[in-house]
Amino acid sequence: MKLTADIVAAGSTAKRNKNELICTYLSRISHVSVVGRGIVDMSGISVSSNNLTVLFLYDNKIQVIQGLENCHNLTRLYLQNNNISSISGLETGLYKLSVLNISGNKIKIISGLHNLPNLQTLYVDKQILNKDEAVEFDLDTLAGLSELEILVERCKSLSSLQIANNLIRDRYLRQKLILANSMLRSIDGKDVTQTEHEFLCRMEAQRFTRSKLSTQPKQTLHEQLEEPQSHPIPHLPPYASQYR
């Protein structure tokens, strides 16, 4: 099924005025939800205008991301649980997109995210792949993500990650990734052992404790003397108890 102007209009949350032309109505809608309708071709979303900010198209059968060339104000795009095999159609000026959900698809290579300068939240988990296939990240995508550990944290099922020879420079990147995702078992071909994970968790806990203690204000000598427990207990002679 193809996404048509009528389906887009029916999926809008805005109320349509009586006798309002569909083209006029489509020019002012901001939220569209077309979920579980068996949509295969989403190119019809191009009938929407710059006012579109949120688009829900999850639980369909979409194969290609397309039709977003007029959606320059789009901030949230939900395409989870479709049949998308590659990331495309995001280079159309989606400069305001902050949330992208493409989990539960068939994507093997995560690419093109460098075209989304405002992207803050990315869901790419639960990709449906063959047992011998793995999710990979292209160099441009890695270069465009300043905090790779945030991305890895979102991929709850990620067990093996290859990030060698990319443009990220962080001597503690391996440690950060292990702490971000407890399911990681291999990074760049090097196993992540249970001992290594537990050691890093202890180190992180100690670092947090030290940081917390260092931020607590120190008491002045006057404040310490004001506390009852800070006063020395006077020495009593052995026979003093008879006077109590």
Angle between helices 173-180 and 194-214 (to 10 degrees): 100
Length of the chain: 244
- Could you report the per-residue pLDDT of 40-87, keeping only the tens digit for each? 999 999 988 789 999 999 999 999 999 998 899 999 999 999 999 988
155 vs 229, higher pLDDT:
155
pLDDT at 36 over 60: yes
Amino acid at 229: Q
Are 8 and 25 contacting, i.e. CB atoms less than 8 angstroms apart?
no
Q: Return the DSSP state at 126.
A: S
Rg of the Cα trace of the chain?
Answer: 28
Lowest mean pLDDT, pick from 15-19, 21-25, 206-210: 206-210
Residues 6+ apart with CB under 8 A from 102: 79, 80, 84, 87, 122, 123, 124
157 vs 11, higher pLDDT:
11
Backbone angles phi, psi at 121, to 5 degrees: -125, 125
- Could you report the per-residue pLDDT of 84-108, keeping only the tens digit for each? 998 888 887 899 998 899 988 988 8
Are 11 and 42 contacting, i.e. CB atoms less than 8 angstroms apart?
no
- Could you report the per-residue pLDDT of 175-229, keeping only the tens digit for each? 888 888 888 888 878 899 999 989 999 988 888 888 777 766 655 555 555 555 5
Secondary-structure class of domain 5-145 per CATH: alpha beta
Q: Return the DSSP state at 100.
A: E
Are 26 and 49 contacting, i.e. CB atoms less than 8 angstroms apart?
yes
Which pLDDT does position 243 carry in this prediction? 43
Per-domain residue ranges for the chain? 5-145
pLDDT at 236 over 60: no
Work out the pLDDT band at 118, boundaries 50, 70, 90.
confident
Which pLDDT does position 144 carry in this prediction? 59
CA distance 37 to 233: 79
Q: 123 by DSSP, 3-state: which?
A: strand
Above pLDDT 90, what percent of the chain?
30
Q: Return the DSSP state at 132.
A: T
- Could you report the per-residue pLDDT of 223-233, keeping only the tens digit for each? 555 555 545 55
